[in-house]
C-alpha cells in the first residue's frame, strides 16, 4: 500500500476519532504543504511520542536527520486522538528513534505492510514503533 494511501487513511481515522470525542473542527493555522516533501520520503508511524502511555500517529519527513514531524495525532486514554500538528510540525523526533527507523527503512523491502520495531530512545527507554509502509 502506498504511503499516501496510508497517510490519508490515518488522517481520516484521526478525524473520525477526533469528531467522535468532540474535538475541534476549527481550521488549523497555515502550514507548509505536505507535498513539499516527496511521498517516498514520508513515513507514517505509531508510537507514544509524548510519554502519556497512549500511542500517537505521526507522518515523518525522512529527508532530515533526525526525522521531523509533518503531521501528528496525539492518542488519548479513551482511544480518541487530538490533532497536534500545529504544535508539533517541524519538531525532530528522538535521535535514537530516528536512527533506528532510518536503518530499518534503508533495509526494508516490506512495502504494504505494518511492522513493529522495538527501539530504545536516547534516555534508554524501550518501546515499540509501528511503521506503516
Per-residue pLDDT of the chain (133 residues; tens, 9 = 90+): 444 544 555 555 554 444 444 444 444 434 445 567 888 889 999 999 999 999 999 999 999 999 999 999 999 999 999 999 999 999 999 999 999 999 998 888 766 678 899 999 999 999 899 998 7
C-alpha cell at 25: 473542527
Give the pLDDT confidence score for residue 69 in this predicted structure: 96
The residues spanned by each domain of the chain are: 3-21+41-132
d(CA 3, CA 53): 26
Full-prediction pTM beyond 0.85?
no
Name the residue among 76, 15, 71 with its Cα closest to residue 43: 71
Contact by Cβ (8 Å): 81, 74: yes
Contact by Cβ (8 Å): 71, 44: no
Name the residue among 8, 10, 6, 27 with its Cα closest to residue 73: 10
Amino acid at each position: 500500500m502506498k504511503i499516501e494511501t496510508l497517510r490519508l487513511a490515518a488522517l481520516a481515522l484521526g478525524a473520525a476519532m477526533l469528531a467522535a470525542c468532540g474535538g475541534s473542527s476549527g481550521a488549523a493555522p497555515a502550514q507548509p504543504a505536505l507535498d513539499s516533501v516527496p511521498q517516498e520520503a514520508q513515513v507514517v508511524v505509531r508510537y507514544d511520542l509524548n510519554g502519556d502511555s497512549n500511542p500517537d500517529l505521526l507522518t515523518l519527513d525522512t529527508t532530515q536527520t533526525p526525522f521531523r514531524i509533518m503531521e501528528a495525532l496525539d492518542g488519548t486514554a479513551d482511544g480518541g486522538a487530538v490533532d497536534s500538528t500545529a504544535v508539533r510540525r517541524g519538531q525532530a523526533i528522538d535521535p535514537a528513534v530516528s536512527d533506528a527507523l532510518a536503518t530499518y527503512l534503508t533495509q526494508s523491502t516490506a512495502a504494504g505492510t505494518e511492522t513493529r520495531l522495538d527501539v530504545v530512545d536516547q534516555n534508554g527507554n524501550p518501546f515499540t514503533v509501528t511503521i506503516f509502509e
